[in-house]
Amino acid sequence: METLPFGSITDVTGIRVGHFERVNRHWQTGTTVVFAPDGAAPGVDVRGGGPGTRETEAIAQENLVQRVHAICLSGGSAFGLSAADGVMALLEDRGLGVPVGDAGVVPVVPAAVIFDLGRGGAGRYRPTPDFGERALRNARVRQKRWGAVGAAAGARAGGIQGGVGTASTSVLVNGVSLRVGALAVVNAAGSTTDPTTGLPWETAGLRLKRPIRDERRTLERLRLAPAAPSLNTTIGVVATDASLSKSEVAKMAAVAHDGLARAIRPAHSMFDGDTVFGLATGVHPMPNDEGSFGDVASRAGILNQLLVAGADMFAAACTHAVLSARSHGDVPGYFDVCASIDPFGR
C-alpha cells in the first residue's frame, strides 16, 4: 500500500520515522518514534477523555523547553509510556537534549500511548524501554513500513485492524515550497468508514468505488459487534519545515484534530485518548510582519494555510492507516473485508 498517493511525514525536511513491534502468540504491540535529529519546536493538543501522555506540560507554549528531538508513540496503555525511557537514553548517548552544563543533556521526549492491552493474549506483554530504543534506531527518512506496525501493531478501528498512516503536501509561499506532513496511529473507538458507502469518511483524493453490498454489510456488522470494554485512542504528529513559534506549533496541533474528527466518527469521546503533537523543524523562515487582516502573504496568512494543510494531512493519514493495515490475529483489515475494491481506482 506504500504506493498510494498519500506522501509521508518524512517529506518534511528534518523528520525521520522508526517502528519496532513484536507480534506473535503472546505479543501484539509496539512503538513508533518520530525523530528530528536537528531538533524541532514542539506543540501538543489533547482532546480525548482518557489520555495517556508524558512531558506535555514541559512543551507547553508558556514553559521552558523550546526544542525536542523525538516524539514517542506507543502501545501498552500507561505502561507503554516507559518506551520513552529508551528513546531518552539513546538521545542522551547521542548528545541530543536540553543542555544542562557539566551534567550533559536532558532529552525531553513527549509521548502518548494507545490502549492495546491483552490483544495478543496477555495484558502483561507490553512495550518496554527497549521498544523505544529500537524504534529510534530504526528511524529513517525513506520509511516504507506502514499499517499494523510499530505503535499500531495491536490497534483496532471500528471493528477492523487499525494502523499507523502518513500523508504530506506542500504549501507554496513566495516561490518556496513549505512541506506539511502528518502521522496518525489509529486505534479508535469510533468508525473510520461511512456505513452508507463502506468507504472511508475521508478518501484523501482516492478514486475508490463502493465495496459490494455483502462487504458493506460485513463492515457494518463488525462496527456494531459487541466488544469488551476498552480505552481507545488516535494519536499522532503533524509537522512542517517552516520556522514556527511554539504557540504556532500548538495551534497547528490543535487544528489537526479537525482532520481527525473528519476521518473518525465519533472522536474525542470519554473513551478516547486523542492526542496530537506538532513539530516545526524551522528550515524555511517565516515573515515577521503580521500584515493586514486577510493578507495571505503575511505571517498569519501563511500560518493559516499551514493549519489547513495540517488538518487535511491528518485526515489523510488516518485514512492511510486503515487502508494500509493488514490483519493481526482475530480482526480483519479493511481490504480483507472489501476485497472487491481496487485501491488504485483503475
Q: What are the DSSP calls for 274-291, one per residue?
A: -EEEEEEEEEE---S---
Residue 345 has pLDDT above 70, yes or no: no
Residues 76-96 pLDDT 10s: 999 999 999 999 999 999 999
pTM of the model: 0.94
Residues 6+ away with beta carbon under 8 Å from 176: 284
The SS3 call for residue 11 is: helix
pLDDT at 34: 98
Is residue 266 reached through a cis peptide bond, with omega within 30 degrees of 0 on the bond before it? yes
pLDDT at 3: 45
Residue 123 has pLDDT above 80, yes or no: no
d(CA 300, CA 211): 42
Residue 226 has pLDDT above 80, yes or no: no
pLDDT at 334: 94
Please, what are the domains in the chain? Answer: 9-337 (3.60.70.12)
Q: ∠ CA 248-113-59 to the nearest 5 degrees?
A: 30
DSSP state string for 183-205 = EEEEE-SSBSB-TTTSSBS--TT
Distance set, CA 73 to CA 129, 197, 260, 308 (Å): 12, 32, 16, 24
At 174, the pLDDT band (50, 70, 90 cuts) reads: confident
Q: 338 is written with which cell numbers? A: 472489501
* Mean of all residue pLDDT scores within the chain: 91
Residue 284 has pLDDT above 90, yes or no: yes
Q: What are phi and psi of 175, to 5 degrees?
A: 80, 0
d(CA 170, CA 9): 11
pLDDT at 1: 39
Residue 346 has pLDDT above 50, yes or no: no
